[in-house]
Amino acid sequence: MGRSLRAGIVGLPNAGKSTLFNALTAAGVAAEAYPFTTIDPNVGIVEVPDERLEHLFEVLAPPRRVPAVVEFVDIAGLVAGAHKGEGLGNRFLAHIREVDALVHVVRCFEDANVAHPSSTVDPVRDVGTVETELLLADLETLEKRLDRVQRVARSGDRTAEREVDFLLRLRDRLGAGEPAAGVESDEFESEVLRSLFLLTGKPVLFVANVDESGLTGAGPNVSALAAAVGADRVLVLCCKLEAELLSFEPEERQEYMSAVGLEAPGVRRLIRASYDLLGLISFFTFNEKEVRAWTLPQGALAPQAAGEVHTDFERGFIRAETIGYADFARAGSVKAAREQGLVRSEGREYEVRDGDILLFRAQP
Ligand SMILES: Nc1nc2c(ncn2[C@@H]2O[C@H](COP(=O)(O)OP(=O)(O)O)[C@@H](O)[C@H]2O)c(=O)[nH]1
Ligand SMILES: [Mg+2]
């Protein structure tokens, strides 16, 4: 139940990973509401900012509000040669396997006082260095599996033969520098892919870590990065500024952000971008104790939403009383929504929409 999204922050040394991690996690959350999360200094639990939840909290007024959270992991130790155990090597790779998505911090800021592992600032080269390590680690994983499955296939095992075909196709793809993510695969192949836990199979959001001056206009470093990985996967942030913002009072913070041309704190933009990248939506529940936001993949059906809340709810799912968020906001209360016929009864096949408020009816 209620598993949160886990994002791993990766990048070369001195790219600004820990600075970003500190900025993200400084606000802190009440951990007792999230018993399923890990206790580890490199793991930070960050609330998903959501105005809809705040509005529901105000209107329904239960004792507490429980936002959805994202876990960010500061994954240090990536250097050229990591796949061979250089730097923190294997430990680093093991950490990456455990996350759902990667936030890849790329150094775009110039600062003579901060050493760069390759002396010069060159975001495209740096991205290449990191991606090569991930590809090489995946190729090793593939070789090991191939070795094993090929032996089985030689005995005429049809399933193993199918797997070998797919593994060879994957190996060609990775060998050509393409990530495992996006490979065409049927149902059987997708299952094989999942079982491999490949590092290049994860969605990646790039954070272009710029100077303060780089926030308003895209400098040559950001343009080059955007051209290399696709502009829609690049979020421009000044990690140092984000960390500094936290020391300000709220009003001062707003003033400072306007002065440097920031609409919202980077934390907010980063979480929003992660949700979009991963195709995640939110739904809400409430009772006399709390109003709560939950995370679901787009396309998930009502019983899966119920299962997030309580495993028993998924098994015993009958139907969910559902109010669209916009309907609720217009009606102003659950009672009014009911009177206006805006509370729908949805069954097992209902695809949950972003912002839905769900009341589950389950067999006890
Ligand atoms: N000038 C400047 N320095 C930064 C920025 N982000 C991080 N730094 C500095 O770069 C150094 C390395 O940052 P850190 O977050 O520890 O990098 P990590 O090795 O990727 O975790 C620190 O001294 C930071 O203060 C930035 O946006 N601008
Ligand atoms: Mg660090």
Mind listing the pLDDT tens digit for each residue in 294-304?
999 899 999 99
pLDDT value for 276: 83
State both tokens at 27: 């606000």
Query: Nearest ligand to the C-alpha of residue 108?
Result: 1
pLDDT value for 49: 86
pLDDT of residue 1 exceeding 50, the answer is no
- Please state which of the ranges 1-10, 150-159, 189-198 shows the lowest mean pLDDT: 1-10
C-alpha 65/C-alpha 349 separation (Å) is: 29
CA 324 to centroid of chain Cα atoms: 25
Read off the pLDDT of each residue in 278-288 and give the average, rounded to a whole number. 92
What pTM did the predictor assign? 0.86
Residue nearest to atom 26 of ligand 1 (CA): 240
pLDDT value for 70: 87
Residue nearest to atom 7 of ligand 1 (CA): 16
pLDDT of residue 4 exceeding 70, the answer is yes
Q: Confidence band (pLDDT; 50, 70, 90) for 311?
A: confident
pLDDT tens sequence across 11-33:
999 999 999 998 888 755 555 55
pLDDT tens sequence across 85-143:
666 556 777 888 889 899 999 999 988 889 888 889 999 999 999 999 999 999 999 99
Give residue 353 CA to ligand 2 midpoint distance, Å.
Answer: 38
What are residue 278's DSSP bridge partners?
none
Give residue 95 CA to ligand 2 midpoint distance, Å.
Answer: 14
pLDDT of residue 344 exceeding 60, the answer is yes
Please report the atom of ligand 1 found closest to the CA of residue 19: 15
Percentage of the chain exceeding pLDDT 70? 90
Please report the atom of ligand 1 found closest to the CA of residue 109: 28
Pocket of ligand 1 (CB under 6 A): 11, 13-19, 109, 111, 114, 209, 211, 238-240
Query: Residue-wise over 81-93: b if at least 16 C-beta within 10 A, else e?
Result: ebbeeebbbeebb
Distances (CA, A) of 346 to 89, 248, 292: 49, 46, 20
Residue with tokens 């095992």: 157
DSSP states of 286-321: E-SSEEEEEEEETT-BHHHHHHHH-HHHHHTEEEEE
The phi, psi pair for 207, rounded to 5°, reads -105, 115
Please report the atom of ligand 1 found closest to the CA of residue 13: 19
Check residue 350 and report its DSSP letter.
P
